[in-house]
Chain A
């Protein structure tokens, strides 16, 4: 199974400042035949289901604010919130959907400092 790790476990950022979350997979999730990274990012606010933010490691889902961006390839990925807003307080999960069982990272909690 591919193991997903995230760092940090939690972070507190001032409003308007940048938040950076890292995600690492134990094996590459880059599919060579289409050059796509099978890596997604989800946001989960308290009491709500997860919401898709980023897919293919860097493609923003429709309707997601452009302050959210994803980068990385192979085994190392980053979710960046360029200017943290109050509504961004949530837990963020990465997930690989390259091989079954699809696995999630443990989550990173983002709070306001």
Chain B
């Protein structure tokens, strides 16, 4: 089955760190750009980061630059998001999504169910 499964969310104090993981299955992970998108409770969607298939290029939304790092391990069919210096405004459901084959500038054709990150003291 083609799917993405996120994990690693939880409760963390402001200033803390967390590492999210996304396990891909059912498709050739190493051929696809991947994305993290987040959704604060009761709010809309916010694109967070993209990474190219070989990990050579990464892009971030301004609010997380310098604090978050996206990476991948194609041998393990896994995508990661290392989140440091967490703030209350980072509280959200974090989705892993696949970029349709072709370019990093394509639409998102497969989504996971998300993992919840709560930043609170």
Q: Which residues of A contact B (CB under 8 A)?
A: 1, 38, 40, 42, 44, 48-52, 55-56, 61, 93, 95, 97-98, 100-107
Q: Which of A40, A101, A105 contacts B107 (CB 8 A)?
A: A40
Given contacts A100-B59, A101-B62, contact A95 B44 (CB under 8 A): no
Q: Is B44 a contact of A38 with CB atoms below 8 Å?
A: no
Tell me which of A44, A49, A97, A104 has the highest count of chain B C-beta atoms within 10 A of its own C-beta.
Answer: A49
Task: Identify 28 residue pairs between A and B in the complex whose beta-carbon atoms are under 8 Å apart, listed by A's number.
Answer: A40-B107, A48-B113, A49-B113, A50-B37, A50-B45, A50-B108, A51-B111, A52-B107, A55-B100, A55-B106, A55-B107, A56-B107, A93-B44, A95-B107, A95-B108, A97-B105, A97-B106, A98-B105, A100-B50, A101-B60, A101-B61, A102-B47, A102-B50, A103-B47, A104-B45, A105-B44, A106-B44, A107-B45
- List the A side residues contacting B59 at CB < 8 Å: 100-101
Closest Cβ of chain A: how far from B107's Cβ, in Å? Answer: 4
Q: What is the predominant secondary structure among interface residues of chain A facing chain B? A: loop
**B111: A residues at CB distance < 8 A:** 49-51
**Inter-chain contacts of B46 with A (CB < 8 A):** 104
Q: Which B residues lie within 8 Å of A97 (CB)?
A: 105-107
Collect the chain A residues with CB atoms within 8 Å of residue B108's CB: 40, 42, 50, 52, 95
Q: Which residues in A have their C-beta under 8 angstroms from that of B44?
A: 93, 104-107
4 tightest A-B contacts by CB?
Answer: A40-B107, A49-B111, A55-B107, A102-B47
